[in-house]
Structure 1
Protein backbone atom coordinates (compact mmCIF):
# COMPACT_ATOMS: atom_id res chain seq x y z
CA UNK A 1 0.00 0.00 0.00
CA UNK A 2 1.42 3.39 -1.01
CA UNK A 3 1.60 6.39 1.31
CA UNK A 4 -1.21 8.09 -0.61
CA UNK A 5 -3.42 5.00 -0.31
CA UNK A 6 -2.75 4.91 3.43
CA UNK A 7 -3.61 8.62 3.60
CA UNK A 8 -6.96 7.96 1.92
CA UNK A 9 -7.61 5.04 4.28
CA UNK A 10 -6.87 7.10 7.40
CA UNK A 11 -8.76 10.10 6.02
CA UNK A 12 -11.85 8.04 5.19
CA UNK A 13 -11.69 6.44 8.63
CA UNK A 14 -11.69 9.88 10.25
CA UNK A 15 -14.57 11.09 8.07
CA UNK A 16 -16.64 7.97 8.80
CA UNK A 17 -16.06 8.48 12.52
CA UNK A 18 -16.94 12.18 12.37
CA UNK A 19 -20.13 11.39 10.48
CA UNK A 20 -21.42 9.49 13.53
CA UNK A 21 -20.86 12.21 16.09
CA UNK A 22 -24.06 14.24 15.51
CA UNK A 23 -26.06 11.10 16.25
CA UNK A 24 -23.83 10.27 19.24
CA UNK A 25 -24.20 13.81 20.62
CA UNK A 26 -27.97 13.72 20.39
CA UNK A 27 -28.32 10.24 21.94
CA UNK A 28 -25.90 11.10 24.77
CA UNK A 29 -27.78 14.34 25.54
CA UNK A 30 -30.89 12.29 26.26
CA UNK A 31 -29.09 11.08 29.41
CA UNK A 32 -26.61 13.88 30.21
CA UNK A 33 -26.66 17.67 30.37
CA UNK A 34 -24.30 19.48 27.97
CA UNK A 35 -21.86 20.19 30.82
CA UNK A 36 -21.91 16.56 32.00
CA UNK A 37 -21.22 15.38 28.47
CA UNK A 38 -18.23 17.74 28.28
CA UNK A 39 -16.93 16.41 31.61
CA UNK A 40 -17.23 12.69 30.92
CA UNK A 41 -16.27 12.90 27.24
CA UNK A 42 -13.17 14.95 28.15
CA UNK A 43 -12.17 12.28 30.68
CA UNK A 44 -12.46 9.48 28.12
CA UNK A 45 -10.67 11.57 25.49
CA UNK A 46 -7.80 12.25 27.87
CA UNK A 47 -7.54 8.50 28.57
CA UNK A 48 -7.47 7.71 24.84
CA UNK A 49 -4.79 10.33 24.16
CA UNK A 50 -2.66 9.09 27.06
CA UNK A 51 -3.02 5.58 25.66
CA UNK A 52 -1.81 6.77 22.26
CA UNK A 53 1.21 8.48 23.86
CA UNK A 54 1.93 5.31 25.85
CA UNK A 55 1.73 3.20 22.68
CA UNK A 56 4.15 5.62 21.01
CA UNK A 57 6.47 5.44 24.03
CA UNK A 58 6.17 9.18 24.62
CA UNK A 59 4.53 9.49 28.05
CA UNK A 60 7.84 10.74 29.42
CA UNK A 61 7.50 13.87 27.26
CA UNK A 62 4.29 14.92 29.01
CA UNK A 63 5.69 16.41 32.23
CA UNK A 64 8.45 18.50 30.56
CA UNK A 65 5.90 19.78 28.04
CA UNK A 66 3.51 20.62 30.87
CA UNK A 67 6.18 22.66 32.67
CA UNK A 68 7.13 24.49 29.49
CA UNK A 69 3.70 25.11 27.98
CA UNK A 70 1.22 25.16 30.89
CA UNK A 71 0.01 28.72 30.21
CA UNK A 72 -0.71 28.04 26.54
CA UNK A 73 -2.24 24.68 27.39
CA UNK A 74 -4.55 26.25 29.97
CA UNK A 75 -5.67 28.95 27.54
CA UNK A 76 -6.21 26.62 24.59
CA UNK A 77 -7.80 23.94 26.77
CA UNK A 78 -10.27 26.52 28.08
CA UNK A 79 -11.28 27.22 24.48
CA UNK A 80 -11.12 23.64 23.15
CA UNK A 81 -12.44 21.36 24.46
CA UNK A 82 -14.10 23.17 27.38
CA UNK A 83 -15.89 26.24 25.96
CA UNK A 84 -16.26 24.94 22.41
CA UNK A 85 -17.93 21.67 23.31
CA UNK A 86 -20.00 23.20 26.11
CA UNK A 87 -21.54 25.64 23.62
CA UNK A 88 -21.77 23.07 20.80
CA UNK A 89 -23.61 20.62 23.06
CA UNK A 90 -25.98 23.41 24.10
CA UNK A 91 -26.79 23.85 20.41
CA UNK A 92 -27.41 20.12 19.98
CA UNK A 93 -29.58 20.13 23.10
CA UNK A 94 -31.83 22.85 21.66
CA UNK A 95 -31.84 21.99 17.95
CA UNK A 96 -32.56 18.85 15.91
CA UNK A 97 -29.29 17.08 15.15
CA UNK A 98 -29.69 17.71 11.41
CA UNK A 99 -29.82 21.49 11.93
CA UNK A 100 -26.99 21.73 14.47
CA UNK A 101 -24.57 19.65 12.41
CA UNK A 102 -25.32 21.53 9.18
CA UNK A 103 -24.75 24.94 10.77
CA UNK A 104 -21.57 23.68 12.42
CA UNK A 105 -20.04 23.09 8.97
CA UNK A 106 -19.74 26.85 8.44
CA UNK A 107 -16.67 26.83 10.73
CA UNK A 108 -14.35 26.58 7.70
CA UNK A 109 -15.77 29.84 6.34
CA UNK A 110 -15.64 31.43 9.79
CA UNK A 111 -11.94 30.56 9.98
CA UNK A 112 -11.28 32.30 6.66
CA UNK A 113 -13.12 35.42 7.82
CA UNK A 114 -11.32 35.45 11.19
CA UNK A 115 -7.96 35.04 9.48
CA UNK A 116 -8.36 38.54 8.03
CA UNK A 117 -7.98 40.37 11.38
CA UNK A 118 -6.07 37.65 13.28
CA UNK A 119 -3.45 36.64 10.71
CA UNK A 120 -3.65 39.89 8.69
CA UNK A 121 -4.63 37.99 5.56
CA UNK A 122 -6.08 39.96 2.68
CA UNK A 123 -9.77 39.35 1.95
CA UNK A 124 -10.60 37.88 -1.45
CA UNK A 125 -13.73 38.61 -3.52
CA UNK A 126 -14.84 34.97 -3.39
CA UNK A 127 -14.67 35.00 0.40
CA UNK A 128 -17.42 37.61 0.58
CA UNK A 129 -19.51 35.71 -1.97
CA UNK A 130 -18.94 32.41 -0.15
CA UNK A 131 -20.02 34.05 3.11
CA UNK A 132 -23.29 35.22 1.56
CA UNK A 133 -24.02 31.76 0.16
CA UNK A 134 -23.10 29.90 3.38
CA UNK A 135 -25.04 32.15 5.70
CA UNK A 136 -28.00 32.10 3.36
CA UNK A 137 -27.91 28.34 3.91
CA UNK A 138 -27.86 28.88 7.69
CA UNK A 139 -30.88 31.18 7.35
CA UNK A 140 -32.79 28.57 5.32
CA UNK A 141 -32.04 25.89 7.94
CA UNK A 142 -32.75 28.12 10.95
CA UNK A 143 -36.14 29.26 9.59
CA UNK A 144 -36.99 25.80 8.21
CA UNK A 145 -37.43 27.04 4.68
CA UNK A 146 -39.05 30.40 5.53
CA UNK A 147 -36.11 32.84 5.32
CA UNK A 148 -38.23 35.87 4.41
CA UNK A 149 -40.50 35.38 7.42
CA UNK A 150 -37.47 35.42 9.79
CA UNK A 151 -39.26 33.08 12.18
CA UNK A 152 -36.49 30.97 13.68
CA UNK A 153 -37.10 27.41 14.85
CA UNK A 154 -34.91 28.06 17.91
CA UNK A 155 -32.93 31.30 17.89
CA UNK A 156 -30.87 30.43 20.98
CA UNK A 157 -29.85 27.08 19.49
CA UNK A 158 -28.82 28.71 16.21
CA UNK A 159 -26.86 31.31 18.16
CA UNK A 160 -24.99 28.65 20.13
CA UNK A 161 -24.20 26.75 16.90
CA UNK A 162 -22.78 29.89 15.25
CA UNK A 163 -20.76 30.89 18.34
CA UNK A 164 -19.26 27.37 18.41
CA UNK A 165 -17.94 27.91 14.87
CA UNK A 166 -16.19 31.09 16.02
CA UNK A 167 -14.55 29.28 18.94
CA UNK A 168 -13.48 26.32 16.78
CA UNK A 169 -12.13 28.51 13.98
CA UNK A 170 -10.37 30.82 16.44
CA UNK A 171 -8.78 27.85 18.19
CA UNK A 172 -7.27 26.52 14.96
CA UNK A 173 -6.07 29.97 13.89
CA UNK A 174 -4.19 30.51 17.15
CA UNK A 175 -3.03 26.90 16.88
CA UNK A 176 -1.00 27.86 13.79
CA UNK A 177 1.44 29.55 16.20
CA UNK A 178 1.53 26.59 18.55
CA UNK A 179 4.97 25.01 18.80
CA UNK A 180 3.75 21.96 20.72
CA UNK A 181 3.65 18.58 19.01
CA UNK A 182 -0.04 18.13 18.00
CA UNK A 183 -0.95 14.96 19.94
CA UNK A 184 1.02 16.08 22.98
CA UNK A 185 -0.55 19.54 22.80
CA UNK A 186 -4.08 18.14 22.55
CA UNK A 187 -3.40 15.91 25.55
CA UNK A 188 -2.32 18.93 27.60
CA UNK A 189 -5.44 20.83 26.51
CA UNK A 190 -7.66 18.05 27.85
CA UNK A 191 -5.57 17.79 31.02
CA UNK A 192 -6.48 21.40 31.85
CA UNK A 193 -10.03 21.31 30.45
CA UNK A 194 -11.07 18.37 32.64
CA UNK A 195 -10.88 20.27 35.98
CA UNK A 196 -12.61 23.26 34.33
CA UNK A 197 -15.51 21.02 33.30
CA UNK A 198 -15.60 19.46 36.80
CA UNK A 199 -15.75 22.91 38.45
CA UNK A 200 -18.52 23.99 36.05
CA UNK A 201 -20.59 20.91 36.89
CA UNK A 202 -19.90 21.40 40.61
CA UNK A 203 -21.05 25.01 40.45
CA UNK A 204 -24.24 24.05 38.61
CA UNK A 205 -25.08 21.03 40.77
CA UNK A 206 -24.49 18.50 37.98
CA UNK A 207 -22.16 16.04 39.68
CA UNK A 208 -24.85 13.55 40.66
CA UNK A 209 -25.25 9.99 39.47
CA UNK A 210 -25.90 9.56 35.74
CA UNK A 211 -27.32 6.73 33.64
CA UNK A 212 -24.92 4.18 32.18
CA UNK A 213 -26.22 5.05 28.71
CA UNK A 214 -24.88 8.56 29.19
CA UNK A 215 -21.47 7.27 30.27
CA UNK A 216 -21.37 4.93 27.26
CA UNK A 217 -22.25 7.80 24.93
CA UNK A 218 -19.61 10.04 26.53
CA UNK A 219 -17.02 7.26 26.14
CA UNK A 220 -17.80 7.00 22.43
CA UNK A 221 -17.77 10.77 21.91
CA UNK A 222 -14.60 11.31 23.95
CA UNK A 223 -12.49 8.42 22.72
CA UNK A 224 -13.55 8.59 19.08
CA UNK A 225 -14.57 12.13 18.13
CA UNK A 226 -12.33 14.10 20.48
CA UNK A 227 -9.32 11.79 20.63
CA UNK A 228 -8.51 8.92 18.29
CA UNK A 229 -10.08 10.43 15.15
CA UNK A 230 -7.92 13.52 15.48
CA UNK A 231 -4.81 11.30 15.40
CA UNK A 232 -6.15 9.46 12.34
CA UNK A 233 -6.65 12.78 10.53
CA UNK A 234 -3.15 13.95 11.46
CA UNK A 235 -1.70 10.73 10.07
CA UNK A 236 -3.62 11.19 6.81
CA UNK A 237 -2.37 14.76 6.42
CA UNK A 238 1.24 13.69 7.03
CA UNK A 239 1.13 10.81 4.52
CA UNK A 240 -0.69 12.51 1.66
CA UNK A 241 1.05 14.08 -1.32
CA UNK A 242 -1.89 16.49 -1.72
CA UNK A 243 -3.50 18.11 1.32
CA UNK A 244 -6.46 19.23 -0.82
CA UNK A 245 -7.33 15.64 -1.78
CA UNK A 246 -7.61 14.60 1.85
CA UNK A 247 -9.30 17.82 2.97
CA UNK A 248 -12.01 17.34 0.34
CA UNK A 249 -13.01 14.04 1.96
CA UNK A 250 -14.64 16.08 4.73
CA UNK A 251 -17.49 16.97 2.35
CA UNK A 252 -18.68 13.36 2.63
CA UNK A 253 -19.29 13.68 6.38
CA UNK A 254 -22.49 15.82 6.45
CA UNK A 255 -24.29 13.58 3.97
CA UNK A 256 -23.35 10.40 5.86
CA UNK A 257 -24.29 12.16 9.07
CA UNK A 258 -27.80 12.98 7.82
CA UNK A 259 -28.31 9.35 6.84
CA UNK A 260 -27.33 8.18 10.34
CA UNK A 261 -29.51 10.84 11.98
CA UNK A 262 -32.46 9.52 9.98
CA UNK A 263 -31.73 5.83 10.62
CA UNK A 264 -30.65 5.91 14.27
CA UNK A 265 -32.47 8.88 15.79
CA UNK A 266 -35.52 8.82 13.55
CA UNK A 267 -35.47 12.52 12.63
CA UNK A 268 -37.32 13.21 9.41
CA UNK A 269 -34.80 15.08 7.27
CA UNK A 270 -36.47 18.34 6.26
CA UNK A 271 -36.17 19.71 2.72
CA UNK A 272 -35.00 22.99 4.29
CA UNK A 273 -32.05 21.13 5.88
CA UNK A 274 -31.03 19.63 2.55
CA UNK A 275 -31.40 22.96 0.73
CA UNK A 276 -29.52 24.85 3.44
CA UNK A 277 -26.75 22.26 3.58
CA UNK A 278 -26.42 22.43 -0.21
CA UNK A 279 -25.92 26.19 0.06
CA UNK A 280 -23.36 25.81 2.86
CA UNK A 281 -21.35 23.18 1.00
CA UNK A 282 -21.67 25.20 -2.20
CA UNK A 283 -20.29 28.25 -0.43
CA UNK A 284 -17.36 26.25 0.95
CA UNK A 285 -16.58 24.88 -2.50
CA UNK A 286 -16.86 28.36 -3.99
CA UNK A 287 -14.36 29.57 -1.43
CA UNK A 288 -11.83 27.00 -2.67
CA UNK A 289 -12.15 27.98 -6.34
CA UNK A 290 -9.65 30.70 -7.27
CA UNK A 291 -11.15 33.49 -9.32
CA UNK A 292 -9.49 34.33 -12.65
CA UNK A 293 -6.78 36.93 -12.25
CA UNK A 294 -8.78 39.44 -14.29
CA UNK A 295 -11.91 39.01 -12.19
CA UNK A 296 -9.98 39.01 -8.94
CA UNK A 297 -8.34 42.35 -9.77
CA UNK A 298 -11.70 43.91 -10.61
CA UNK A 299 -10.75 44.70 -14.21
Structure 2
Protein backbone atom coordinates (compact mmCIF):
# COMPACT_ATOMS: atom_id res chain seq x y z
CA UNK A 1 0.00 0.00 0.00
CA UNK A 2 1.22 3.49 -0.84
CA UNK A 3 1.20 6.21 1.80
CA UNK A 4 -1.72 7.89 0.02
CA UNK A 5 -3.74 4.66 0.09
CA UNK A 6 -2.97 4.20 3.78
CA UNK A 7 -3.96 7.82 4.42
CA UNK A 8 -7.31 7.37 2.67
CA UNK A 9 -7.94 4.11 4.55
CA UNK A 10 -7.19 5.71 7.93
CA UNK A 11 -9.24 8.76 7.03
CA UNK A 12 -12.21 6.63 6.05
CA UNK A 13 -11.97 4.66 9.31
CA UNK A 14 -12.06 7.92 11.28
CA UNK A 15 -15.04 9.21 9.30
CA UNK A 16 -16.82 5.86 9.72
CA UNK A 17 -16.49 6.01 13.50
CA UNK A 18 -17.49 9.69 13.60
CA UNK A 19 -20.62 8.84 11.61
CA UNK A 20 -21.79 6.46 14.36
CA UNK A 21 -21.54 9.03 17.15
CA UNK A 22 -24.99 10.62 16.63
CA UNK A 23 -26.54 7.17 17.03
CA UNK A 24 -24.50 6.54 20.17
CA UNK A 25 -25.54 9.97 21.54
CA UNK A 26 -29.19 9.18 20.88
CA UNK A 27 -29.08 5.74 22.48
CA UNK A 28 -27.07 6.92 25.47
CA UNK A 29 -29.08 10.05 26.22
CA UNK A 30 -32.22 7.96 26.44
CA UNK A 31 -30.58 6.31 29.47
CA UNK A 32 -28.75 9.15 31.23
CA UNK A 33 -28.15 12.88 31.47
CA UNK A 34 -25.65 14.81 29.31
CA UNK A 35 -23.44 15.39 32.39
CA UNK A 36 -23.30 11.69 33.24
CA UNK A 37 -22.61 10.73 29.63
CA UNK A 38 -19.81 13.29 29.41
CA UNK A 39 -18.30 11.97 32.65
CA UNK A 40 -18.17 8.39 31.35
CA UNK A 41 -16.98 9.35 27.86
CA UNK A 42 -14.27 11.75 29.03
CA UNK A 43 -12.96 9.18 31.53
CA UNK A 44 -12.75 6.55 28.77
CA UNK A 45 -11.02 8.97 26.43
CA UNK A 46 -8.55 10.07 29.10
CA UNK A 47 -7.60 6.46 29.89
CA UNK A 48 -7.09 5.77 26.18
CA UNK A 49 -4.99 8.90 25.59
CA UNK A 50 -2.77 8.33 28.63
CA UNK A 51 -2.30 4.68 27.58
CA UNK A 52 -1.25 5.87 24.14
CA UNK A 53 1.20 8.35 25.71
CA UNK A 54 2.72 5.52 27.76
CA UNK A 55 2.91 3.28 24.67
CA UNK A 56 4.72 6.01 22.75
CA UNK A 57 7.03 6.61 25.75
CA UNK A 58 6.07 10.30 25.92
CA UNK A 59 5.09 10.43 29.59
CA UNK A 60 8.11 12.55 30.59
CA UNK A 61 7.18 15.02 27.84
CA UNK A 62 3.61 15.05 29.14
CA UNK A 63 4.71 15.87 32.70
CA UNK A 64 6.97 18.63 31.36
CA UNK A 65 4.03 20.28 29.60
CA UNK A 66 1.84 19.90 32.71
CA UNK A 67 4.15 22.31 34.50
CA UNK A 68 4.94 24.63 31.59
CA UNK A 69 1.50 24.97 30.02
CA UNK A 70 -1.07 24.23 32.73
CA UNK A 71 -2.95 27.48 32.11
CA UNK A 72 -3.30 26.73 28.40
CA UNK A 73 -4.38 23.17 29.21
CA UNK A 74 -6.99 24.40 31.68
CA UNK A 75 -8.45 26.96 29.24
CA UNK A 76 -8.53 24.55 26.31
CA UNK A 77 -9.91 21.74 28.47
CA UNK A 78 -12.65 24.02 29.79
CA UNK A 79 -13.68 24.80 26.21
CA UNK A 80 -13.33 21.22 24.91
CA UNK A 81 -14.38 18.75 26.18
CA UNK A 82 -16.12 20.44 29.14
CA UNK A 83 -18.34 23.24 27.79
CA UNK A 84 -18.56 22.08 24.18
CA UNK A 85 -19.85 18.61 24.94
CA UNK A 86 -22.25 19.78 27.64
CA UNK A 87 -23.83 22.13 25.09
CA UNK A 88 -23.87 19.70 22.17
CA UNK A 89 -25.20 16.83 24.30
CA UNK A 90 -27.98 19.04 25.64
CA UNK A 91 -28.87 19.89 22.02
CA UNK A 92 -29.02 16.17 21.23
CA UNK A 93 -31.22 15.69 24.30
CA UNK A 94 -33.74 18.29 23.07
CA UNK A 95 -33.66 17.62 19.32
CA UNK A 96 -33.95 14.48 17.22
CA UNK A 97 -30.39 13.26 16.65
CA UNK A 98 -30.79 13.59 12.87
CA UNK A 99 -31.48 17.32 13.28
CA UNK A 100 -28.77 18.01 15.87
CA UNK A 101 -26.03 16.27 13.88
CA UNK A 102 -26.99 18.05 10.65
CA UNK A 103 -26.91 21.49 12.30
CA UNK A 104 -23.62 20.65 13.98
CA UNK A 105 -21.95 20.27 10.57
CA UNK A 106 -22.30 24.02 9.97
CA UNK A 107 -19.33 24.60 12.30
CA UNK A 108 -16.99 24.81 9.30
CA UNK A 109 -19.08 27.67 7.88
CA UNK A 110 -19.01 29.40 11.27
CA UNK A 111 -15.24 28.89 11.31
CA UNK A 112 -14.75 31.02 8.20
CA UNK A 113 -16.68 33.92 9.73
CA UNK A 114 -14.96 33.74 13.12
CA UNK A 115 -11.55 33.63 11.41
CA UNK A 116 -12.13 37.25 10.35
CA UNK A 117 -11.76 38.84 13.83
CA UNK A 118 -9.53 36.15 15.35
CA UNK A 119 -7.06 35.38 12.54
CA UNK A 120 -7.62 38.60 10.55
CA UNK A 121 -8.63 36.60 7.49
CA UNK A 122 -10.91 37.97 4.78
CA UNK A 123 -14.24 36.56 3.70
CA UNK A 124 -14.62 35.76 0.03
CA UNK A 125 -17.76 35.59 -2.10
CA UNK A 126 -17.92 31.80 -1.84
CA UNK A 127 -17.97 32.03 1.99
CA UNK A 128 -21.15 34.11 1.78
CA UNK A 129 -22.79 31.70 -0.68
CA UNK A 130 -21.83 28.78 1.56
CA UNK A 131 -23.32 30.54 4.59
CA UNK A 132 -26.59 31.29 2.80
CA UNK A 133 -26.93 27.68 1.64
CA UNK A 134 -25.86 26.19 4.97
CA UNK A 135 -28.00 28.31 7.26
CA UNK A 136 -31.01 28.04 4.96
CA UNK A 137 -30.58 24.30 5.46
CA UNK A 138 -30.60 24.85 9.23
CA UNK A 139 -33.82 26.87 8.87
CA UNK A 140 -35.44 24.05 6.88
CA UNK A 141 -34.48 21.52 9.56
CA UNK A 142 -35.51 23.74 12.49
CA UNK A 143 -38.96 24.50 11.03
CA UNK A 144 -39.64 20.94 9.86
CA UNK A 145 -39.63 21.92 6.20
CA UNK A 146 -41.46 25.27 6.52
CA UNK A 147 -38.60 27.77 6.49
CA UNK A 148 -40.76 30.83 5.82
CA UNK A 149 -43.17 30.12 8.67
CA UNK A 150 -40.42 30.71 11.27
CA UNK A 151 -42.22 28.23 13.52
CA UNK A 152 -39.49 26.22 15.24
CA UNK A 153 -40.02 22.71 16.53
CA UNK A 154 -37.63 23.33 19.43
CA UNK A 155 -36.04 26.76 19.25
CA UNK A 156 -33.85 26.27 22.34
CA UNK A 157 -32.46 22.99 21.03
CA UNK A 158 -31.62 24.63 17.69
CA UNK A 159 -30.03 27.55 19.57
CA UNK A 160 -27.80 25.17 21.56
CA UNK A 161 -26.82 23.27 18.41
CA UNK A 162 -25.77 26.55 16.76
CA UNK A 163 -23.94 27.68 19.92
CA UNK A 164 -22.01 24.40 19.85
CA UNK A 165 -20.74 25.31 16.36
CA UNK A 166 -19.46 28.64 17.71
CA UNK A 167 -17.67 26.91 20.60
CA UNK A 168 -16.15 24.25 18.30
CA UNK A 169 -15.03 26.82 15.72
CA UNK A 170 -13.52 28.98 18.49
CA UNK A 171 -11.64 25.98 19.85
CA UNK A 172 -10.06 25.18 16.49
CA UNK A 173 -9.18 28.81 15.78
CA UNK A 174 -7.48 29.14 19.16
CA UNK A 175 -5.85 25.78 18.55
CA UNK A 176 -3.87 27.30 15.64
CA UNK A 177 -1.86 29.19 18.27
CA UNK A 178 -1.29 26.18 20.50
CA UNK A 179 2.42 25.27 20.60
CA UNK A 180 1.95 21.93 22.37
CA UNK A 181 2.35 18.66 20.38
CA UNK A 182 -1.07 17.43 19.21
CA UNK A 183 -1.36 14.25 21.27
CA UNK A 184 0.20 15.87 24.35
CA UNK A 185 -2.14 18.85 24.08
CA UNK A 186 -5.28 16.76 23.69
CA UNK A 187 -4.33 14.52 26.62
CA UNK A 188 -3.69 17.53 28.85
CA UNK A 189 -7.00 19.10 27.79
CA UNK A 190 -8.86 16.01 28.99
CA UNK A 191 -6.70 15.77 32.12
CA UNK A 192 -7.56 19.30 33.23
CA UNK A 193 -11.18 19.09 32.07
CA UNK A 194 -12.01 15.88 33.91
CA UNK A 195 -12.10 17.43 37.43
CA UNK A 196 -14.38 20.20 36.06
CA UNK A 197 -16.70 17.58 34.54
CA UNK A 198 -16.68 15.52 37.74
CA UNK A 199 -17.55 18.56 39.91
CA UNK A 200 -20.31 19.68 37.52
CA UNK A 201 -21.79 16.18 37.46
CA UNK A 202 -21.69 15.93 41.26
CA UNK A 203 -23.36 19.32 41.76
CA UNK A 204 -26.09 18.96 39.14
CA UNK A 205 -27.20 15.33 39.42
CA UNK A 206 -30.13 14.84 41.82
CA UNK A 207 -30.41 11.12 41.24
CA UNK A 208 -27.72 8.94 39.73
CA UNK A 209 -28.81 5.98 37.62
CA UNK A 210 -26.35 3.71 35.89
CA UNK A 211 -27.43 1.40 33.10
CA UNK A 212 -25.32 -1.07 31.15
CA UNK A 213 -26.58 0.38 27.84
CA UNK A 214 -25.73 3.95 28.86
CA UNK A 215 -22.35 2.91 30.19
CA UNK A 216 -21.41 1.01 27.02
CA UNK A 217 -22.51 3.92 24.81
CA UNK A 218 -20.51 6.33 26.95
CA UNK A 219 -17.41 4.16 26.67
CA UNK A 220 -17.92 3.90 22.90
CA UNK A 221 -18.23 7.68 22.56
CA UNK A 222 -15.14 8.25 24.69
CA UNK A 223 -13.10 5.91 22.52
CA UNK A 224 -14.42 6.61 19.04
CA UNK A 225 -15.57 10.24 19.22
CA UNK A 226 -12.89 11.64 21.50
CA UNK A 227 -9.94 9.23 21.38
CA UNK A 228 -9.09 6.74 18.64
CA UNK A 229 -10.50 8.83 15.78
CA UNK A 230 -8.05 11.62 16.65
CA UNK A 231 -5.13 9.23 16.16
CA UNK A 232 -6.54 7.82 12.91
CA UNK A 233 -7.28 11.26 11.45
CA UNK A 234 -3.97 12.75 12.54
CA UNK A 235 -2.01 9.84 11.00
CA UNK A 236 -4.05 10.13 7.79
CA UNK A 237 -3.12 13.80 7.46
CA UNK A 238 0.54 12.97 8.09
CA UNK A 239 0.65 10.27 5.42
CA UNK A 240 -1.30 12.01 2.68
CA UNK A 241 0.38 13.96 -0.10
CA UNK A 242 -2.66 16.21 -0.41
CA UNK A 243 -4.71 17.02 2.68
CA UNK A 244 -7.81 18.02 0.70
CA UNK A 245 -8.23 14.43 -0.55
CA UNK A 246 -8.50 13.17 3.03
CA UNK A 247 -10.53 16.17 4.19
CA UNK A 248 -13.16 15.52 1.52
CA UNK A 249 -13.96 12.21 3.21
CA UNK A 250 -15.71 14.16 5.96
CA UNK A 251 -18.64 14.70 3.56
CA UNK A 252 -19.46 11.01 3.94
CA UNK A 253 -19.99 11.30 7.71
CA UNK A 254 -23.43 12.97 7.81
CA UNK A 255 -24.75 10.68 5.07
CA UNK A 256 -23.58 7.57 6.90
CA UNK A 257 -24.84 9.05 10.17
CA UNK A 258 -28.37 9.39 8.77
CA UNK A 259 -28.22 5.74 7.70
CA UNK A 260 -27.11 4.49 11.15
CA UNK A 261 -29.83 6.56 12.84
CA UNK A 262 -32.48 5.02 10.60
CA UNK A 263 -31.24 1.50 11.40
CA UNK A 264 -30.48 1.61 15.13
CA UNK A 265 -32.79 4.23 16.67
CA UNK A 266 -36.55 4.80 16.74
CA UNK A 267 -36.27 8.03 14.77
CA UNK A 268 -38.21 8.30 11.53
CA UNK A 269 -36.17 10.16 8.97
CA UNK A 270 -37.77 13.45 7.97
CA UNK A 271 -37.72 14.79 4.44
CA UNK A 272 -37.00 18.22 5.92
CA UNK A 273 -33.82 16.86 7.54
CA UNK A 274 -32.63 15.35 4.26
CA UNK A 275 -33.33 18.56 2.32
CA UNK A 276 -31.75 20.73 5.00
CA UNK A 277 -28.70 18.47 5.21
CA UNK A 278 -28.34 18.64 1.42
CA UNK A 279 -28.27 22.46 1.63
CA UNK A 280 -25.63 22.30 4.37
CA UNK A 281 -23.47 19.89 2.38
CA UNK A 282 -23.81 22.06 -0.73
CA UNK A 283 -22.63 25.03 1.32
CA UNK A 284 -19.67 23.07 2.68
CA UNK A 285 -18.86 21.86 -0.83
CA UNK A 286 -18.84 25.41 -2.19
CA UNK A 287 -16.59 26.51 0.64
CA UNK A 288 -14.24 23.57 0.07
CA UNK A 289 -13.97 24.25 -3.69
CA UNK A 290 -13.07 27.86 -2.91
CA UNK A 291 -10.30 26.74 -0.54
CA UNK A 292 -8.86 24.37 -3.13
CA UNK A 293 -8.84 27.11 -5.78
CA UNK A 294 -7.15 29.48 -3.35
CA UNK A 295 -4.41 26.92 -2.59
CA UNK A 296 -3.79 26.31 -6.27
Would you call these one fold, judging by a TM-score over 0.5? yes
Structure 1 consecutive aligned stretches of length 4 or more whose deviation exceeds 3 Å:
none
Q: Distance in 2 between matches of 1:58 and 1:166?
A: 33
Provide the residue aligned with 1:116 in structure 2: 116
Provide the residue aligned with 1:188 in structure 2: 188
Provide the residue aligned with 1:17 in structure 2: 17
Output one character per residue of 1:31-64: Cα deviation in whole Å (capped at 9) or x when no partner.
1101111111110000011111122121222111
Q: Distance in 2 between matches of 1:254 and 1:208?
A: 32
- The alpha-carbon deviation at position 129 of structure 1 amounts to 1.4
Alpha-carbon contact 1:201-1:207 (below 8 Å) kept? no
Q: Distance in 2 between matches of 1:41 and 1:148?
A: 39
Alpha-carbon contact 2:32-2:209 (below 8 Å) kept? no
Alpha-carbon contact 2:24-2:220 (below 8 Å) kept? yes
Output one character per residue of 1:73-101: Cα deviation in whole Å (capped at 9) or x when no partner.
00000000000000000000000010000
Q: Distance in 1 between matches of 2:207 and 2:199?
A: 9
Matches within 5 A, 1:9-88: 9-88=9-88
Provide the residue aligned with 1:90 in structure 2: 90
Provide the residue aligned with 1:208 in structure 2: 208
Alpha-carbon contact 1:34-1:93 (below 8 Å) kept? yes
Matches within 5 A, 1:244-283: 244-283=244-283
Q: Distance in 2 between matches of 1:102 and 1:91?
A: 12
In angstroms, what is the RMSD of aligned CA positions? 1.4
Alpha-carbon contact 2:127-2:287 (below 8 Å) kept? yes
- Unmatched segments (≥5 aa) in structure 2: none
Provide the residue aligned with 2:156 in structure 1: 156
Q: Distance in 2 between matches of 1:207 and 1:230?
A: 33
Output one character per residue of 1:157-207: Cα deviation in whole Å (capped at 9) or x when no partner.
101100000000100000001010111100000001111011111211357
- Unmatched segments (≥5 aa) in structure 1: none
Q: Distance in 2 between matches of 1:209 and 1:100?
A: 25
- The alpha-carbon deviation at position 288 of structure 1 amounts to 2.1
Q: Distance in 2 between matches of 1:5 and 1:103?
A: 31
Counterpart of 1:32 in 2: which secondary structure?
A: coil
- The alpha-carbon deviation at position 232 of structure 1 amounts to 0.6
Provide the residue aligned with 1:241 in structure 2: 241
Alpha-carbon contact 1:114-1:169 (below 8 Å) kept? yes
| Most deviating of 164-173 and 58-67 | 58-67
What TM-score do the two structures reach when normalised by structure 1? 0.95
Counterpart of 1:236 in 2: which secondary structure?
A: helix
Q: Distance in 2 between matches of 1:16 and 1:89?
A: 20
What TM-score do the two structures reach when normalised by structure 2? 0.96
Q: Distance in 2 between matches of 1:289 and 1:172?
A: 21
Provide the residue aligned with 1:5 in structure 2: 5
Counterpart of 1:149 in 2: which secondary structure?
A: coil
Q: Distance in 2 between matches of 1:73 and 1:200?
A: 18
Provide the residue aligned with 2:144 in structure 1: 144
- The alpha-carbon deviation at position 214 of structure 1 amounts to 1.4
